[in-house]
């Protein structure tokens, strides 16, 4: 029996309820002039069986990498809340892509007192800082890495290395210095 050709396609996995578009995000976020505006994404491991959550602060490029138990909305919400709660005063907005792992965005917003926004579908350039950082993280954990076999220590070392790496786009300051408001390098060569 021949298959019928499908003329349109539709999203089969469901939709994120009450999502707020990036268009409604305050313009100051685009300027990267204040601390507290974050971008979030997930990196998927080998055979889609493991994942990392990445959170990047837009002004300083300060990066948090979290190993996820699984990629469910509940696990992602728990991880974001646990890691950003101690930094609550430095969390004003978070921008995500449209992955269903961010479906509990209203709970994240309530827990952190921050506004959550979503980029347009298939528009990774709207969260360019996070996408670029994910590329840097892939230097430590190439595609095909099974994150279940990567220790918390290795993940923390990768995040620490990224946060201590001077960035040309930030006047050769490190994300650590910019985020924490300290100078760790007295002499720059």
Residue with tokens 């506004």: 115
Task: Report how many domains make up the chain.
Answer: 1
Residue 165's domain comprises 22-178
- Region 73-89 average pLDDT: 97
Of 42-46, 156-160, 182-186, where does mean pLDDT reach its minimum?
182-186
Please say if the pLDDT value at position 51 is more than 90: yes
User: Is 2 among the domain residues?
Assistant: no
- pLDDT tens per residue across span 102-152: 999 999 999 999 999 999 999 999 999 999 999 999 999 999 999 999 999
User: Is 184 among the domain residues?
Assistant: no
Both tokens assigned to 117: 């926004």
User: Is 185 among the domain residues?
Assistant: no
Residue with tokens 């990066």: 63
- Region 160-167 average pLDDT: 98
CATH number at residue 77: 3.30.420.10
User: Is 8 among the domain residues?
Assistant: no
């Amino acid at each position: 029996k021949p298959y019928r050709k499908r003329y349109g396609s539709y999203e089969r996995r469901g939709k994120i309820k009450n999502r707020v578009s990036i268009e409604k995000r305050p313009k100051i976020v685009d300027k990267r002039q204040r601390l507290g505006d974050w971008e979030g994404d997930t990196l998927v491991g080998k055979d889609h069986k493991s994942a990392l959550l990445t959170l990047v602060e837009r002004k300083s490029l300060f990066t948090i990498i979290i190993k996820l138990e699984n990629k469910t909305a509940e696990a992602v919400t728990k991880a974001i809340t646990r890691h950003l709660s101690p930094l609550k005063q430095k969390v004003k907005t978070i921008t995500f892509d449209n992955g269903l792992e961010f479906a509990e965005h209203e709970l994240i917003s309530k827990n952190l007192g921050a506004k959550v926004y979503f980029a347009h579908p298939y528009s990774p350039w709207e969260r360019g800082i996070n996408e670029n950082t994910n590329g840097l993280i892939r230097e430590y954990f190439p595609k095909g890495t099974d994150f279940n076999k990567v220790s918390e220590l290795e993940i923390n070392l990768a995040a620490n290395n990224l946060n201590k790496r001077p960035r040309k786009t930030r006047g050769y300051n490190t994300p650590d210095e910019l985020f924490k408001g300290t100078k760790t390098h007295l002499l720059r060569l």
